[in-house]
Amino acid sequence: MATEMQSDTKASARDVLSFAAERAQAYVREVAGRRVSPAEADLAALAGLHEPFPEASSDPHAVLAKLDEIGSPATVTTTGGRYFGFVNGGILPAALAANWLAGVWNQNVALRAMSPIAAELEEVVLRWVCEALRFPLDCAGGLVTCATMANFTALATARHALLARAGWNVSEDGMFGAPPIEVVVGAEAHASILKALSLAGFGRKRVTIVEADGQGRMRADKLPRLSERAIVCIQAGNVNTGAFDPAAEICARAHEQNAWVHVDGAFGLWARLSPKFDHVTRGFEMADSWATDAHKWPNVGYDSGLVLARDGGALRASMGITAAYLEPGARREPMHHTPESSRRARGVELWAALKSLGRSGLRELIERTCAHAQLFARGLRTAGFEVLNKVEINQVLASFGSPDVTREVIRRIQEDGTCWCGGTVWQGKTAMRISVSSWATTDADVERSLAAMIRVARECRAV
């Protein structure tokens, strides 16, 4: 028999969904006119969340109202057209709407038996991603939280494969006493690769670092002598400059020795959608494993990391679990391809995003955001400011003078609220980083943001 609370709750579940949809729609309508960073007063209001764990239950409607009242104003407007922080994309309408539907479904995609639709969509999107990126179509893959996790999964796969060749089963016998593996990374590798290496038992410091050039590209001529027990981690898209390691040359050299090449391509790999970038993206298809994010350039919501590996057997050997009630069926079982077991059905939003964009839409999104990056670079240079990187794709590094002045300009731009950019230090130089990664950015957003940057920078220089 249903309790009173259950009957009440079922009736109000419909109400609360309508209420949430109304509030969500209001938020979407307000995005264009909102400040990008939240105002001080809205941040101060977050203190209102800190109450002791409530003794009494609350009506879901009241819970949602409170969340919207305190939460919405304290968000960073990353879904609008003027957020250029980190390398964070926005969210495509189809992906957002699919997220609502997926929320209602609440599917656990660990096993096909738990959700046939979620398992099916994963198979479809993994294949589509291979098609889009021009990778071998029979790659195995998994949908993980983020690129850090994708890097970890790929490195665990590489570890398994290389040690298996040496007659060592790392899944059973662990790393202690295992034949040594040499890990090679570029000097400008993303910090998440080092974290992934530490998680996989390799150690952040126990790596051979290869010199990078002024754009952060690994120098192929500086590669050490490799062996069949080496993992070379290369990068498609440096998080600061957007530069690509020379993949064709490195893969050829590594594969002569049977070494494993892993690509951290969190955002850069998506540039393979456009032939305009072939000169930098060629060769990455030769690698053995790849990590990327659909929550960056493809504008799918968080968390949408992807791992792909040529050797599906090694991926499953390192990620599978055995338990009587979890035996793999004849079809692909999601949980045997990722570190996580129970998880949400990430493939739903990714499918919706890719289906709505199609190859032409995704290509156009990539090309448009890169053209916007060029507009920023040109605008800043014309105004007399320095652009530190060769703007090849969607990343721009700007300096406004001394480190102190540049930091102050960044602080004031964030405070101004017209747009949002973060700071970085590129090869010893303090810089503001502009990443154009959102489908929502328009030419007008670029012009308005550029005007705000130049105004603020001139004010800072004047004092």
Ligand X SMILES: *Cc1c(COP(=O)(O)O)cnc(C)c1O
> Which residue ranges make up the site for ligand X (CB under 6 A)?
87, 146-148, 190, 192, 235, 237, 239, 264, 266-267, 293, 305
Nearer to ligand X (CB atom), residue 88 or residue 99? 88
Structure tokens given for 294: 């659909």
What is the nearest approach in angstroms of ligand X to the Cβ of residue 84?
14
Q: By C-beta, is 141 or 237 nearer to ligand X? A: 237
CA 394, CA 236: separation in Å to the nearest integer? 13
3-state helix, strand, coil in the chain (%, to 5): 50, 15, 35
Q: Across the chain, which distance is largest between two alpha carbons, in Å?
A: 74
CB of 291 to ligand X, least distance (A): 7
Specify the residue, 230 or 239, whose C-beta has the smaller distance to ligand X.
Answer: 239
Q: What is the rounded distance in angstroms from the CA atom of residue 207 to the CA atom of residue 262?
A: 14
Which secondary structure element, helix H or strand E, spans residue 398, and what is its range?
strand 395-399
CB 346 to ligand X: min, Å: 12
Q: In this complex, which beta carbon is closest to ligand X, that of residue 147 or of residue 460?
A: 147
Do residues 295 and 439 make contact, with C-beta atoms less than 8 angstroms apart? no
**Which CB, 150 or 170, lies closer to ligand X?**
150
Neighbours of 74 (CB within 10 A): 15
H/E stretch holding 355 reads helix 346-382
d(CA 463, CA 461): 6
How near is the Cβ of 253 to ligand X at its closest, in Å?
A: 22
Shortest Cβ distance from residue 13 to ligand X (Å)? 33
Residues 176-181: contacts with CB under 8 Å, at least 24 apart: 179/229, 180/229, 181/229, 181/230, 181/231
Which residue's CB is nearer to ligand X, number 229 or number 372? 372
Least distance to ligand X, CB of residue 125, Å: 17
Give the three-state DSSP class for 244: strand
Nearer to ligand X, 189 or 380 (CB): 189
Q: How far is the CB of 153 from ligand X (least distance, A)?
A: 12
